[in-house]
Each structure stands twice: as structure tokens, then as C-alpha cells.
Amino acid sequence: MTYVSGVDASAVRDAIGGRVYVPGEGGYEAARLPWQRRVDPHPALIVDAATSGDVRAALRFARDQGLPFAVLSTGHGAARIPDGGVLVKTGPMSSVEVDAGRRVARVAGGVLWSDVIAAAAPHGLAPLSGTSPTVGVIGYTLGGGTGWLSRLHGFAADSVLRAEVVTAEGELVTASAAENADLFWALRGGSGNFGVVTALEFRLFPVAGVYAGMAMFDAERAADAFAVYREWALDEPDESNTALVLAQMPPAPQIPEPVRGKRVLMLRTFYAGTSEDAERLLAPLREAAGPPLMDGMRATSYADAAAMLPPPPPAISEMHIEMFREIPDAVIDAAVEGHEGVAGVELRHWGGAMGRPGEDAGPIGHRHVPFSVVAGGQATTPEEAAGMMAGIKAIGDKLRPYATGGSWLNFLGDASRTEAAYTAGDYQRLRAVKATWDPDNVFSANHNIPPA
């Protein structure tokens, strides 16, 4: 028998097919860390779940032993993982099935967006994936999910058709519009508060060619470009997804010389259409930004466009989002002002299909708010992180007086602001659903919604 802090790990090893790690054993240190290194958990047990049965066994063990329970795929959105509990890793659950005729994908709990993109591409289809293909499908989608095609087709959560869920009682149930409809509603934006999703079925969308990439400009005209963007965006077609980003490029040798060590303005573009139509649309933004230092926009495939932004390595990552109905001059001033430790400040236009939900849409708040400003950075040491977080806080303090006060769950680093991601009515309904499906708040290691 193996005992860790009074916990008998052999009971779990006997019950599941996946691997189990305990402190001191090989693989434990690598397995315990999420991508988001702001979270530094020390669980008593780590279970590599290969099946929904493994998840059920691990959950029942945690409940029988009175231990905290948490679930991770990649851990990009990790908010809180209590020490001394049972941590389930869903990475081994990696199957992807594409039904091209129905334009539907079914994925297991640990699948990454890169897996779905690769499986859908031969059929001329694409998922509503985010800007990083290395993010896990389940966590991203349950938190709402905003990506390249969101203005054209809505949030990723809006595309969900069915979910396989391990409940707080350790039972395996199906949630859909026709079965356990209250749970199905809550999952599509309520994150992991209501169960462990071990399989998800969602729509895919036909995508032919796209025009995508990023152009970099000198930052000296950033304020002018932001001012033009706030008006230009009001007529942006749904096929277009754009953002302006002010970023400090590192002085590293691998950074191309024209932008190495410089503060630059980036125009990030994804257009579901031809390069000619895209460039006609982007002309006012290019004119405002001036001559490009580098220009990486090109006609390409969705799969190629999805992989254009290199995935950042695991780090202490922080971001602060504020949402705006309009962008006053004071917000532009706050956004373009340099702050120590802040890697980038993004002004982004949303709207389109995101603001036209179906009658049965899930609890994603603030769908009709057209703009966001996000300040973010990454650090590798606590000392770097302290400076970064101070700089991000300074920007947030300047933005807040002009913002709506709302947020989107996947952008929230601060789990204490979870309620800000929902309308008041949806939040109360979510708490009621939580009381039905998880009255003991077993699933609390997240952006937690407490039971009513």
C-alpha cells in the first residue's frame, strides 16, 4: 500500500486504467503543474484519466475520503487547485470524431483545438476555436469561447449540441436540449461548476480560404490608430475579426531585426473571404498606422491561420479585461501609455453573431458589448510577476471608470470576479442549477459559482 498524508493511493490504482502519481514519485512534479504557473498545486494524488470511468472512480474516491477535487486538461484557465486533494488530468482522453455530413465533431475530455482543426480541415470544415490551438477544447468551450470565427458564428459554447458529464455523485449523464436541459444550459458558459465533461459534441462550419495574419507598425501613431479603429469597427462585417495590440517586443536574437526590442503597434486580422476584400476593408487602419515594419498577412487556410500565433510557454500569466460600449479618449490614453512589465494592451471589437444568440443560448453575459481592452503579460519568476501585476493593475485602474464592469469568464484571472461574467438573472439561475447538480460544491476549484 502507498500512503500519502494518510491517503491510500492503492485504492485508486486498482480502480482505474490510467496512471496515478503521488508526491515523490517520478512524473509527479511535471503532472501537477498547469500551463498557468500562477497556480502551484500540491495534490495528494494525480490521476491521468483515460476514460470517463477513471474520472468517476477518482471523484468517488475523493468524496469518500473527504478530499478536495479538481480537473485539468492543459490548465490555461486554471484559477484555483487546492493542495492535498485529488487532481484529475484529462489529457489521455484524446479521441476526435468528425461527421462531415452532419458538420459535427465529437471529442473526448482532453482534446486540444489543434486535434479538432486537423481532423476537420480535410472536409473543408473548422471549429469555433480560439487564438491558440494548444488550448483544451472543453475548458475553453464551457467558459464561452471566443475566437477567429466568433463574429461570424458566435461563441464556441453556442455551437455545443451534447455533453457527456460525470456528476458530483459520480454518475455519467448526457446533457442536451432534450435531456437534462437545465444542466445543458448551465454548461454552455458556466464553466466546470456542474460536472466533469468527458465528451462534447459541437457544430463545425464550412470555411474556404481566409486572409489572416499580423502587421507591425511603429507605436508612435498608436493613439491615432486606436481612434480610427473605434469608429471603423462600428461597420466591421461579421466575416472580419480584428484587434489592435500595443506590444513591447523583447530584445531577443530570434525576434526579427526590424521590431527587435521595439514597442510596436500590431494589427491582427482574420477575414473569412478574399485578400482583395480584406485589404479594402483594412485600408483606413493601415493608413492610420503608417508604413509597416513587418507585414505577415496572407491568403491561407483556416488550419494555417489558427497556427500563426506561436503558443506561449508555461508561465506566470496575468491579464485584466475591461469591456466598453464605446471607447473615449481617456481609454485610448490609458491603453497607449507604457507600463513596466506589461507585455501588451489589446483593443478588440466583438459583436456580430456573438450579440445575436439563439433562444436556447447558454449563460454568457455581456454579449452586446462591442469592445474590450485587455492588458496582459507573462513572467518566469515571482519578482518579474510582481512588477508585471503592478503594471497591469495600474492600467486597469485607469480603464475602470469608463468600463461596463462586466467580463467574460475565459479572460478572468481573478476568480473573485466570476459573477461579473454574467447577467444578474443568469447568475441566480446558475446558482439554482448548481444547487440541483452540485449542492455540496464539489466542483469548486474553478471560477466558482456557489449553490443557491
Q: How does pLDDT run across 106-154, given as a tens digit for each residue?
A: 999 999 999 999 999 999 999 999 999 999 999 999 999 999 999 999 9
pLDDT, greater one: 23 or 1: 23
What confidence tens digit (pLDDT) does each residue in 317-335 have?
999 999 999 999 999 999 9
Least confident of 5-9, 219-223, 397-401: 5-9
Q: Determine the average pLDDT of the residues in 347-356.
A: 97
pLDDT in the model for residue 164? 98
CA–CA dist 352, 264 (Å, integer) = 28
List domains and CATH numbers for the chain: 3-89 (3.30.43.10), 96-206+422-437 (3.30.465.10), 210-417 (3.40.462.20)
Residue 5 has pLDDT above 60, yes or no: no
CA–CA dist 95, 111 (Å, integer) = 7
Residue 2 has pLDDT above 60, yes or no: no
Residue 231 has pLDDT above 70, yes or no: yes
Residue 8 has pLDDT above 70, yes or no: yes
Give this prediction's pTM: 0.95
Residue 16 has pLDDT above 90, yes or no: no
CA–CA dist 195, 142 (Å, integer) = 11
Residue 6 has pLDDT above 80, yes or no: no
- For residue 399, give Cα distances in angstroms to 59, 230, 243, 301, 390: 42, 15, 18, 36, 14
pLDDT in the model for residue 210? 97
Q: How confident is the model at residue 305 (pLDDT cuts 50, 70, 90)?
A: very high
Q: How confident is the model at residue 234 (pLDDT cuts 50, 70, 90)?
A: very high
- For residue 299, give Cα distances in angstroms to 233, 296, 349: 22, 10, 22
Contact present, 351 and 366 (Cβ < 8 Å): no
State which amino acid sits at residue 185. W
Q: How confident is the model at residue 13 (pLDDT cuts 50, 70, 90)?
A: confident
pLDDT in the model for residue 17? 85
pLDDT in the model for residue 314? 94
CA–CA dist 348, 241 (Å, integer) = 9
Q: How confident is the model at residue 235 (pLDDT cuts 50, 70, 90)?
A: very high
What confidence tens digit (pLDDT) does each residue in 368-406 have?
999 999 999 999 999 999 999 999 999 999 999 999 999
Residue 1 has pLDDT above 70, yes or no: no
What is the pLDDT of the chain when averaged over all its residues? 94
Contact present, 299 and 275 (Cβ < 8 Å): yes
pLDDT in the model for residue 3? 42
Q: Determine the average pLDDT of the residues in 412-432.
A: 94
CA–CA dist 171, 291 (Å, integer) = 59
What confidence tens digit (pLDDT) does each residue in 240-292 have?
999 999 999 989 898 999 999 999 999 999 999 999 999 999 999 999 999 99
pLDDT in the model for residue 415? 87
Quick one: CA dihedral 157, 158, 163, 168, positive or negative? positive
Residue 29 neighbours by CB under 8 Å, 6+ apart = none
User: Cα 64 vs. chain centroid, distance in angstroms?
Assistant: 32
CA–CA dist 43, 85 (Å, integer) = 5
What confidence tens digit (pLDDT) does each residue in 82-91 have?
999 999 999 9
CA–CA dist 126, 131 (Å, integer) = 13
